[in-house]
Amino acid sequence: MSDTNSDIEQPGPSPSHSKKKARKPEKWARTIAKTLRNLGKEYVSRSTGKTVSARTIGQPCPDKCFDKVTRPVIEKIFKEFWAIGTYDLQNAYIQKLVHPLAVKRRRKPKDPAHPGPVRTVNYQYTVLHENTSYQICKKGFVSILGLTLDRVDIALKKASACGTSEPDKRGKRPPPVMIKGTAADHFVHEHIKTLPTLSSHYTRTKSPHKSYLDSSLSVTKLYNMYLEWMDFEHPGEQKVKESYYRNVFNKSYNISCQPPKTDTCSTCDSKISLPIDVQSGEVHTNQPPKQAQFPSKEWKEVVLERCCNIYMKKFFAYMISMMDFIPQRED
């Protein structure tokens, strides 16, 4: 059994080697729509399904700020602003060009008993081009950048007292119940690592990170083994649901319960695929191969004697040693 144990592997979690396809968020429709929106281009809204037109320069303001800046400069500023393509950096750009000022003069309220809201700060709006700063009004600032008044107000509210910009937190709130990274998640990985697996012999070059378990196992049976293992190793600790266990098993590990078909020669395949009488060891060629679908310990012992491939002998010797504590399928 020393040769068998040398081929046993204990894989660790590796999402890049998962048997499931890796997620590609950059190709999701909502990610594409978000990218186009931040670039000021036309996109399809994920909430309404309607096509939102691309951003354009707004109408000139009554204070003739467009004449002060000139049209070519405005078009260049507009183009470079939307080329930033990131919501947080665009907010930082707005905060850089808008300067808070103290209120110099206040008007007396008409009703002193109810003065209403009191303005605490004024804002000076500017645009910058080739080290030249142009002071403009708020409406001209919004029109030049192709924004709305609310977008500018939100960007200014995200500026801290030290002048730093608060990052956008939309869609980044952690779920109320988080299992990943907790002790329960650690126990799932710990149990999967204890499963003795076997790597392929002939397909190691093609699938170097793929490992195999006994064909009589399934994720449901592994989960039941996990429950018993938790009661024995970590009594009283939180257990995860089968769906979470299955998700970790499929996405973090490249383990299969189906043995590789290419690890046998034609002689071994003919012996394994045919029903074998366990008592006499005779092969019945006139019967359908039902034994191969539900292999028992005795059947594997007979196959072990008939296999001519050295690696296949190791594989079945290892599987026979595991039959004592692996739950068997019910006929």
Average pLDDT (119-146) is: 92
Kindly indicate the confidence band of residue 17, based on its pLDDT and cuts at 50, 70 and 90. Answer: low
Kindly indicate the confidence band of residue 176, based on its pLDDT and cuts at 50, 70 and 90. Answer: confident
CB atoms within 10 A of CB 186: 13
Kindly indicate the confidence band of residue 215, based on its pLDDT and cuts at 50, 70 and 90. Answer: confident
Largest CA distance in the chain: 110
Contact (Cβ atoms closer than 8 angstroms) between residue 254 and residue 18: yes
Average pLDDT (307-320) is: 52
Find, among 14, 54, 19, the residue nearest to 36 by Cα: 54
> What's the CA gap between 247 and 245, in Å, rounded?
5
Per-residue pLDDT at 1: 40
Find, among 21, 19, 47, the residue nearest to 34 by Cα: 47
Average pLDDT (186-198) is: 86
Per-residue pLDDT at 323: 52
CB atoms within 10 A of CB 302: 20
Q: How many angstroms from the chain centroid is the CA of residue 228?
A: 30
> What is the domain partition of the chain in residue ranges?
55-105+119-157, 264-331
Mean pLDDT of the chain: 77
The helix, strand and coil proportions of the chain, stated in percent and rounded to the nearest 5, come to 40, 10, 50
**% of the chain exceeding 90 in pLDDT:** 36
Please state which of the ranges 6-20, 51-65, 103-117 shows the lowest mean pLDDT: 6-20
- Greater model confidence, 183 or 16: 183
Residue 194 has pLDDT above 80, yes or no: yes
Phi-psi region of 307 (alpha: psi -120 to 50; beta: other; left: phi over 0): beta
